[in-house]
Structure 1
Amino acid sequence: MTIMRYIFLILIFAFISNTGFSQRVKVKLDNDKFTEFKERWNTKKQVRKGKRAFKDGTFASYRQAAVHFQNAYDKISDNAALTYMLGMSYLKSVPADKALNYLEKAYNQNKTTHPDLIFYYARALHLNYKFEEAISKYNEYKNTLTAEQLGYKDKMLKKRISECRYGIDYMADTARVFTTPIAAINSKYDDFAPVIPPDGTKMYFSSKRPYDKHDDIYENTGQYTENIFWAGKRERDWLFKGSLSKKINEKHNNAVIGLSPNGMQLLLFDGQKNNGDLYKAEYKKSKWRSPKDKEFSKVNSSARESSVTIAYDNRTMYFTSDRDDDQKIGGQDIYRSMRRKSNKKWGKPVNVGGTLNSIYDEEGVFLHPSGQTIYFSSKGHTSMGGYDLFKSEKQSDGTWSSPENLGYPINTPGDDLFFGVTANGRYGYYSSRGRDGDDFDIYEIIFLGPEKPLIQSSEDMLIASMAKPITETVIEKTVDIKTIRLTIVKGKIYDAITNEPIQAEIEITDNEADSVIMTSESGEGGEYLVSLPSGKNYAMTIKAKDYLFHSENFNIPPATNYQEIVKDIEMNKLAAGTKVILNNIFFEFGKAVLRTTSYPELNRVVKLLEAYPKLKIEISGHTDNKGSLAVNKRISEKRAKAVVDYLVTQGVEQNRLTYKGYAYLQPVASNDTEEGRQRNRRVEFKIISHK
């Protein structure tokens, strides 16, 4: 079963369950309305075809029913039953404005045509943003119900009315954004579930467009099989790149629902197994590999797992499932799973509880790379109708705040799903069919802060002015933009001599806690990306077979705002004379006393020496040019010796180690700047011999 088909079935079921009656009526045509037999016969034939199509109860059949009923209506427009069936066909397919047109006419022709006509008229008003009128009609419908009918419909009607009231509030206080469909990506079919890496340079998405010339159209949907496509971004423009390989796009439906933190693994939904399971596909040796579900063995169930997001440390995962267990809160809930190491199986899931989960359905969960904001779609909470997009902030005690609706014009009375946002919080992407009730399209959101009035000529305003925002976008509300405290480090890893890219392991260590918090890999082309939330002293260590490890230090204070650092890494082979700077060695100020934050880096040197028993190295200390040569030689040598002493305490033989202080005689940067002087204050090791 496809993701969008599942969502459609939920909507149809909810639609039917909102009323206790059949939605069809008998359409009787007055023969006196026709002057010719052939015209009467053809009109009745269209009605019969429309009724048969409507009875089939699929998205495609409702569309087909609308065609037939429309043909009949064009011949006879004053038949309330026919007008009602035409309006219902549009209401259950597309578009919402046509549904309103005909249901309003049916209501005016004869409001008693069907017991639920007033309700469906109210729904059409609701979907077309006519909230005040919708509330009036919902209440009018309520007054037509018996006590027994009201007993099982009252809760639903109260929810619909509350959705309209939320819609009134959101439209009166609009979010400061531009929301624009991405023409280069969208097709005339369903396009949905965009997923992006933190830097927003590419997008993977699902689509029901033709994959190849042998594709067949699904009779129930009138669209093709779900397959996965991708696009790249060049400056401000999205460029459609095509479909992924048949390793990913197999014969049945295929949908992408998430991306690993490093962007090298696709998280997929397979509707063929159970009711829908999670899978992962890796990109290796210039190819996407076949999807596997091994690491999700404790997560996948006989129920449906339909969306997933993984935290920056690759150890926490949130996903949605409609499993029926003792933790269940709504129809489909958000769950959390953890694991100790980033390459191991995910642990037993835990329901995240009633703050995020409502008594209705949640879907399309996405965790910001900072780990501090979670986004998801919900039919509950303060939705204005259908699935609305919400966000929640992580509190100081680790709990999540009450969900906040992203507001209008992002949300609509229809379904708004599968939201993702770039790490800098500037651009968001999601799929919606709430604009016109037609097929799902992918939209780009440009978030505008209160400090950027429309008259300014900032980059964001320039982007926004070049876009073609949808007609309902109104920019009025001044919103507080949450400061994103996150550092994105990205670049390429390559051989220092040949410049050939290297596929390497990346290890992120919290120096203060002496704990590895994340492991990742670079791509085959050497590209890598890691997300580092502010407030920690990080060591980034790069490891590859037959190469010496490379280390970088990122000491990011808690108040550091969003930044991107491009850092290309040169890797050196294990050879005599090769030097490695130990960027995560720290001393007490003006002393040769090692800080405990140096231990993770020093322990990596120990492991290297253990792995190569014949390896001999020189530890060297270096300073900037502040002070005399004699003083700097003394402190640099004492610091080199302190490193050697630590290595010896960890079991390294003394005869494999030498040390020397070079003061400021071997600078790696200019001493004319503070940044350069900081780079020159360092400890490094050089290979003396390794055979």
Structure 2
Amino acid sequence: MLKNDSLLIFASVYSDSLIEEKAIEPGKKKNKNQFFKAVMTDGVWKGEGLYDDLMNSSEVDVANGALHLKSPYIYYTRCAIVSGKRKCDLYKIRKGGSEPAAILPEPINHSKYSTTQPALGTDKNGSLILYFVSDRDGGRGRTDIWYATYDSITNSFVNPQNAGSKINTRMDEATPFFEDRTRALYFSSNGWPGMGGFDIFKNIGSDKEWGEVKNVGYPLNSPADDLYYILNSKRDGGFLTSNRDGGFSIKHPNCCDDIYEFKQKAPVSSVLEVEVQGFETMLDSLGEPLVSLYLSSADSCVRLKDNKIVKELCDVLIKEIRLTEGNKCYFNISVGSEYEIKTYQSGSLAKSLKIKVSKEEYTDTLKAIIRLQEYSKDAIMIKNIYYEYKKFELTEASKLIIDSVLLKLLRDNPHIILEISAHTDSVGSFNYNYHLSQRRARSVVDYLVSNGIDPDQLKAQGYGELKPIVHNTNLDGTDNVEGRAMNRRTEFRIIGEIKGKLKPEYSR
């Protein structure tokens, strides 16, 4: 871990001679893994011995330090042989404190399984998350990455959960590192496709919400094992460990892990400046806009919404900002990833904009403008919604139109209430036409509700022949066939809002 960009804390077994495990004399203690420090002096890293007596121990192995600006503690691993098996647990010690380290309670640690390699990050709301590696039950492979959320009441991490299939495989995942600015989790795996052994991978998101896993590529990865990737505070370089060819070999060329420092050839992140225009006239009565940044995904996810299974794109919410002052906000985005900005405000429909910074077109600040407009409350006709003669059931072709127009509108804007209205021509009795139109409007509403839309967002209203848009007969009294066809229509209009439901909320 980097305590700052000039102080590197690392774990190692120190010896002034080659250690042969089988050659250790009976009754003699084996050298233990301990924390050491290296200091940057005149551009060169120089080792300065053991780091902290309170963290080190002559009885157990220690490793995997993790810290975060929001936490007063350093988290790390202690491992020992228990009943003939190596068992690891997580500990914490206060930064700069004099009290001994404390073991994390269950269920973060587990009495039967190892818990190791902690990493600290934040979720989309800025709350701390503890990532760690464990072989406990409930995982997907041999060792998985798990996470636990921070409980501010108990001042502890609680409710450990598996990070899911976008991170873990049926093999081994290890050494997580979370980069807060772009919300990227770096980790090593021998289960995702790579160059061989453990490769370093990256995924953007947090807890269980992730985008697509990406191999960070050569030269950070090699045919050997590459682990413990971390970045410095400037994000222009960092460290990793590897047993690749060219290291300090003791027994054979790939026997041992060495620490490597690297520098990024190109920037890995950029600043996104979002300017929201057009809301100033709505501000007093409707409040401040909410700007959300999503990582775009082409995959579909099955989500549970209002106790219904809904299939939607797996866009991952990265961060959201309420514009309480001014009309600009800023995000850090990862170079090469595609994002979508979504802006929500009462009195306006959600607006979105796709953005991406490629390596070839890199800029340190990308500017985007989104203009909000007050929505109209006029009725809008939905073309190509058809019914069989004297029927109210939706045709399959009509359902496709509803999916592309109404379903998307309501999912993107859960705060609006729509009146779905159906209209007939004047053929038939007034009562018959009224009831037929009511059933047709209701069939649209029922279809939307069956696809996960909140019933509170919808009102079915049949008008029969009361609201023609053209005359049903010509001036000479003859039948206006084209006019009657235009009067047989389905419309929608915004008639209100649901308080407190400005933006979509998903749960997987």
TM-score by length of 2: 0.47
Whichever structure has more strand as a proportion of its residues is 2
Higher helix share: 1
Q: TM-score, normalised by structure 1?
A: 0.35
Higher relative contact order (CA 8 A, sep 6+): 1
